[in-house]
Amino acid sequence: MDERRTKAITEQILQLKSERKAVFLVHYYQRPEIHVLADFLGDSLGLSRQAAATDAQVIVFCCVHFMAETAAILSPQKTVLLPEMKAGCPMADMVDVDGLLDLKAQHPDAAVVSYVNTTARVKAESDICCTSANAIEVVNAIPQRKVIFVPDKNLAHWVSRHTDKTIIPWEGFCPPHDSLRREMVLALKEKHPNALFMCHPECRPEVIDLADKVVSTSGMARYVQGLPEGATVIVGTERGMTERLRRDHPNKTFLIPTDWLLCPNMKKMTLESIRNALETMQPVVRIESDIADRARLALTRMLQVVGGS
């Protein structure tokens, strides 16, 4: 889209936003032209906290479906707009509820810890939720010694390195993060021997072994803030984050190890879809109340463990 058109649609959105008294919650993986609309830009934990805390009656969630569902679960009396309903998360879709119920029946003494990257139905069958920022803290805080961890096997593996509890992983994964290979990072490190490597815990264990820092997206923003000017960092997460870091830190260098680190679902959201959603006040994320009530328990337990409730 050319610059003039981007500016014109942005102005229309800001006008509608003020008329609707809407708040914009935006994930780091969104497009740069959407970042500028954010009242809050952050990771999935920060977005959950904001969704629970905001006074606004209308929340425009610029992210993927499970994150908007989280907002609708936490704030059932508010209108949660997800301008692109087809923006799903393939990893969240890798858990089927029947399979989870079977696993629970096999391990009746285990707690189900579900990553927020799950559907409301799966959260409703969970004891507690977690995000990439607090998964270790959540697993260590609960009383059970055995944990069924859904859906990300890589995050489950990362957690298992930081707890003495038994972790039973679901075999899900995030396609973009799981596509990052050790050789790709090593090739960049050879070209840039002073570069630091930070990655998201959704990366494979053998990739995590190479990292100087393993953190959620907000954790990456904080880590980079503390680095000296001139630092070079290889970024092992979706490229929206890298683009944001480049904008915020023009005197630091950020390297992308592979073009596969792109989440097509996060990129489905456009300025046009946001403008249309505010004009029509559609599509609204709705969840059956009995499922929402049970899912809310798992989410509020997480917010009580890590603060934010």
- For binding to ligand 13P (CB under 6 A), which residues are involved? 43-44, 117, 131-133, 174, 177, 200, 202, 216-217
Nearest-approach distance from CB 264 to ligand SF4, in angstroms: 8
| Contacting residue, 58, 263, 277, 305, with ligand SF4 by CB under 6 A | 263
Nearest-approach distance from CB 278 to ligand 13P, in angstroms: 24
Is 130 near ligand SF4 (CB under 6 A)?
no
154 contact choice in ligand SF4, ligand 13P, none (CB below 5 to 8 Å, kind-dependent): none
| Contacting residue, 47, 64, 130, 305, with ligand SF4 by CB under 6 A | 64
Alpha carbons 230 and 142: distance in angstroms, whole number: 42
130 contact choice in ligand 13P, ligand SF4, none (CB below 5 to 8 Å, kind-dependent): none
Is 83 near ligand SF4 (CB under 6 A)?
no
- Looking at the Cβ atoms of 201 and 308, the one nearer to ligand SF4 is 201
- Looking at the Cβ atoms of 266 and 269, the one nearer to ligand SF4 is 266
Binders of ligand SF4 in range 206-245 (CB under 6 A): 238
Is 62 near ligand SF4 (CB under 6 A)?
no
Cα 19 off chain centre by: 29
Alpha carbons 41 and 38: distance in angstroms, whole number: 6
| Contacting residue, 10, 31, 76, 90, with ligand SF4 by CB under 6 A | 90
Number of residues that bind ligand SF4 (CB under 6 A): 13
217 contact choice in ligand SF4, ligand 13P, none (CB below 5 to 8 Å, kind-dependent): ligand 13P
Nearest-approach distance from CB 187 to ligand SF4, in angstroms: 23
265 contact choice in ligand 13P, ligand SF4, none (CB below 5 to 8 Å, kind-dependent): ligand SF4
Binding site for ligand SF4 (CB under 6 A): 64, 89-91, 117, 174-177, 238, 263, 265-266
